[in-house]
């Protein structure tokens, strides 16, 4: 299911094609790499986004170990994971391996809101980025003024 070029069907009826995977990855890549001092490389076979080439903040997974999901695994603020998974378990989930650290899984194969995806990515960045980089983001948000 879900490998580039194949049509995938997940257990809840969502489906996507290889083109959907490519389009989703390009959108995620654009959001992640627009943040200061970020880069991408494969980690454990998945496109993974880092801050200063060391700290992971987002992983892009296509059918991770046959789970049937096109999804992001993201760092998340404390308490957010349980809140959103409980509120909307069709779109959010506790990801394998990193879920115990509070990371959040966000499905990209059901009900995609790309504005929300961008916000989740920025939140992930803010969770793990050094303060100086976050201050730079806040300065950009306020036109150079840090409140």
107-135 mean pLDDT: 95
Q: Chain-centre distance of CA 19, in angstroms? A: 18
pLDDT, position 30: 97
* Cα–Cα dist 32/57, whole Å: 9
CATH of segment(s) 8-141: 3.90.1150.30
Phi, psi (rounded to 5 degrees) for 98: -115, -5
β-bridge partners, 55 = 51
| pLDDT category of residue 16 using cuts at 50, 70 and 90 | low
pTM of the model: 0.84
Q: Domain residues of the chain, as ranges?
A: 8-141
Q: Could you tell me where the DSSP H helices lie in the chain?
A: 18-33, 80-87, 114-128, 131-141
């Amino acid at each position: 299911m879900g490998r580039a070029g194949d049509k995938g069907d997940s257990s809840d009826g969502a489906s996507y094609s290889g083109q959907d995977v490519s389009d989703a990855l390009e959108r995620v890549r654009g959001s992640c790499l627009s943040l200061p001092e970020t880069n991408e490389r494969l980690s454990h076979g998945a496109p993974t986004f880092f801050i200063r080439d060391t700290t992971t903040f987002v992983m892009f997974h296509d059918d991770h170990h046959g789970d049937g999901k096109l999804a992001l695994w993201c760092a998340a603020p404390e308490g957010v994971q349980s809140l959103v998974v409980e509120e909307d378990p069709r779109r959010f989930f506790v990801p394998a391996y990193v879920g115990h650290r509070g990371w959040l899984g966000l499905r990209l194969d059901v009900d995609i809101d790309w504005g929300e995806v961008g916000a989740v990515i920025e939140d992930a960045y803010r969770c793990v980025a050094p303060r100086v980089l976050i201050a730079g983001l806040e300065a950009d948000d306020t036109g150079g003024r840090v409140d």
